[in-house]
């Protein structure tokens, strides 16, 4: 058999070479069977890819077309304007978008310092016997289903927030105005706390990967110059890991934007501009959870699906940005964001 190598690349190679050049009838038969087998395999591969492509396309097209009725009715201003009051025939996503962005922002303010500090501790400052088990523990938090976090938020956190935390926060001298008003319990603040708990593991694991990607030589160089451990982190590790950490934050934001069930359980379902962080609110996700099933077919359902379209646009944009940052940074596998959250 003569084997002639071709340019690199799996399919390019096999395209040129085929199943080897054996002469004669035996070779012809073997080649024919191989070619059929190859065709079958190739067809299977196309089937798999095609199925996935069809599903992806179907999802995007379906959401888009089902929301078209609502967008035709309300115009593109649907996204930023108006009130959400289906009974009065008012369909405007503006307040829901504001609340969604607000809960996510507050969740990030709470979560990023904690997540970053934890990642720094685990990857730079902790003794090895501690960092292994601790990071496993935090990774397990990623596996907790969102409904369980929502249950805990609803049954455990809500009374604590209504009776102790929110009144306390309202009395804090400098920041009290952020938390003024009736302490109902279910509120923007509570939803943000729940979101922070749920996005923390993503942040920690992706940040650790980013820190891990910094070459050891950089750290050693800093140490050789007389830096303390914190200075090593600040001067050598951080700058190199910036892309990875930004990716971590961005992906956490994407996750927080899309969370619906847990938020619906603790946010209080009030589609109005919140006066303070302790006011109830309503996000895009929570509105869909609560209103999809009972929306009147036609304009009602289409409007709820249009909310989904807005949410989809937001999360897709944020996630695409996060994935791009990941690739530009450490090149760590992006899928872990989905599986490990």
Partner 1 sequence: MSVLIAPSRRELVRTAARRSLRRRQIVGRIVLGLCVLAVVAAVAPLVALVYFTISRGVGTLSWAFLTHAPTPPFIPGGGISTAITGTAEIVGLAIVLAIPTSLLAALFLFERSGKLAAALRFSADVLTGVPSIIIGIFAYAVLVLPLHQFSTLAAAFALAVLMLPIMIRADEEAMRTIALDLWEAGIALGARRGRVARSVILRGALPDLVTGNLLAIARAAGETAPLLFTLATPLAAMTLLIYTDGTQAFPSAQRTAWATALVLLSFVLLLSVAARLVAWSISRRAH
Partner 2 sequence: MRAFRIDGRAHAPRALTSPRRVAGPLAVLAITVVAAGCGSTSASTTKRAAGSATPASANLLGAAYDTTTSAAVTLNGAGANSIEPFFETVFYQYNQKNPNTTVNYSPAGSSVGVTDIQQGTVAFGDSEIPMTASQLAAATGGTILQIPVDLGGVAISYNVPGLTKSIDLDGPTLAGIFDGSITNWDDPAIAGLNPGITLPNLAIKAVHRADSSGPGYDLDQYLIDTAPAWVTAIGTSTPSRTWPQASVGIGEQLNTGVATYISQTSGSIGFVEYGYALQNGFVNAAIKNSAGSYVAPTEKSIAAAGAQATSLSATDFNVVNEAGAGTYPIANFSWTLVYQKQSDSSTGIALGKLFDWVVTSGQQDAASLGYAPLPSNVVSLAQSTIRELEGSAGTPLFAS
Within residues 281-310, the interface with partner 2 by CB under 8 A covers 290-291, 293-298
Q: Binds 290, which of partner 1, partner 2, none (CB < 5 to 8 A, cut-off by type)?
A: partner 2
Q: Binds 257, which of partner 2, partner 1, none (CB < 5 to 8 A, cut-off by type)?
A: partner 1
Residue 159 binds partner 1 (CB under 8 A): no
- The correct pick among 90, 163, 164, 231 for binding partner 1 (CB under 8 A) is 231
Q: Binds 86, which of partner 1, partner 2, none (CB < 5 to 8 A, cut-off by type)?
A: partner 2
What is the nearest approach in angstroms of partner 1 to the Cβ of residue 115?
A: 7
**How far is it between the farthest Cα atoms of the chain?**
93
The smaller minimum CB distance to partner 2, of residues 27 and 139, is found at 139
Residue 47 binds partner 1 (CB under 8 A): yes
Residue 123 binds partner 2 (CB under 8 A): no
Residue 173 binds partner 2 (CB under 8 A): no
Residue 235 binds partner 1 (CB under 8 A): no
Window 62 to 101, contacts with partner 1 (CB under 8 A): 62-63, 66
Q: Binds 261, which of partner 1, partner 2, none (CB < 5 to 8 A, cut-off by type)?
A: partner 1
SS (H, E, C) the chain: CCCCCCCCCHHHHHHHHCCCCCCHHHHHHHHHHHHHHHHHHHHHHHHHHHHHHHHHHHHHHHHHHHCHHHHHHHCHHHHCCCCEEHHHCEECCHHHHHHHHHHHHHHHHHHHHHHHHHHHHHHHHCCHHHHHHHHHHHHHHHHCCHHHHHHHHHHHHHHHHHHHHHHHHHHCCCCHHHHCCCCCCCCHHHHHHHHHHHHHHHHHHHHHHHHHCCCHHHHHHHHHCCCCHHHHHHHHHHHHHHHHHHHHHHHHHHHHHHCCHHHHHHCCCCCCCCCCCCCCCCCHHHHHHHHCCCCCCCHHHHHHHHHHHHHHHHHHHHHHHHHHHHHHCCCCCCCHHHHHC
What is the nearest approach in angstroms of partner 2 to the Cβ of residue 243?
A: 20
Window 3 to 22, contacts with partner 1 (CB under 8 A): 3, 9-11, 13-14, 17, 19-20, 22
The smaller minimum CB distance to partner 2, of residues 122 and 222, is found at 122
What is the spatial distance between Cα 170 and Cα 315, in angstroms, rounded to a whole number? 33
The smaller minimum CB distance to partner 2, of residues 101 and 334, is found at 334
Residue 238 binds partner 2 (CB under 8 A): no
The smaller minimum CB distance to partner 1, of residues 121 and 181, is found at 121
Binding site for partner 2 (CB under 8 A): 85-88, 154, 158-159, 162-163, 182, 184-186, 264, 268-272, 280, 290-291, 293-298, 333, 336
């Amino acid at each position: 058999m003569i084997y002639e190598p071709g340019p690199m690349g799996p399919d390019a190679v096999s395209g040129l070479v085929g199943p080897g050049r054996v002469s004669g009838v035996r070779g012809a038969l073997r080649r024919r069977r191989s070619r059929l087998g190859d065709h079958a395999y190739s067809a299977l591969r196309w089937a798999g890819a095609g199925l996935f492509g069809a599903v992806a396309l179907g999802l995007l097209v379906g959401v888009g077309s089902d929301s078209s009725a609502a967008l035709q009715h309300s115009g593109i201003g649907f996204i930023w304007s108006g009130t959400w009051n289906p009974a009065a025939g008012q369909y405007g996503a503006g307040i829901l978008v504001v609340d969604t962005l607000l809960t996510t922002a507050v969740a990030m303010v709470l979560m990023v310092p904690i997540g970053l500090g934890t990642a720094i501790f685990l990857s730079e400052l902790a003794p090895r016997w501690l960092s292994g088990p601790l990071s496993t523990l935090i990774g397990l938090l990623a596996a907790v289903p969102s409904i369980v976090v929502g249950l805990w938020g609803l049954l455990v956190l809500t009374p604590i927030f209504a009776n102790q935390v929110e009144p306390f926060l309202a009395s804090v001298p400098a920041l009290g105005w952020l938390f003024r008003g009736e302490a109902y319990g279910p509120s923007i603040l509570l939803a943000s706390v729940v979101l922070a708990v749920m996005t923390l593991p993503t942040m920690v694991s992706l940040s650790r990967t980013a820190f891990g990607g910094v070459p050891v030589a950089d750290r050693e160089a800093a140490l050789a110059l007389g830096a303390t451990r914190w200075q090593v982190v600040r001067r050598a590790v951080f700058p190199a890991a910036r892309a990875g950490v930004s990716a971590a934050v961005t992906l956490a934001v994407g996750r927080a934007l899309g969370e619906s069930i847990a938020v619906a359980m603790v946010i209080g379902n009030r589609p109005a501009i919140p006066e303070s962080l302790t006011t109830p609110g309503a996000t895009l996700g929570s509105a869909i959870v609560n209103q999809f099933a009972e929306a009147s077919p036609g304009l009602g359902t289409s409007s709820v699906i249009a909310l989904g379209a807005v949410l989809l646009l937001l999360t897709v944009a944020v996630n695409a940005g996060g994935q791009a940052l990941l690739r530009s940074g450490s090149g760590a596998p992006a899928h872990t964001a989905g599986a490990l959250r």
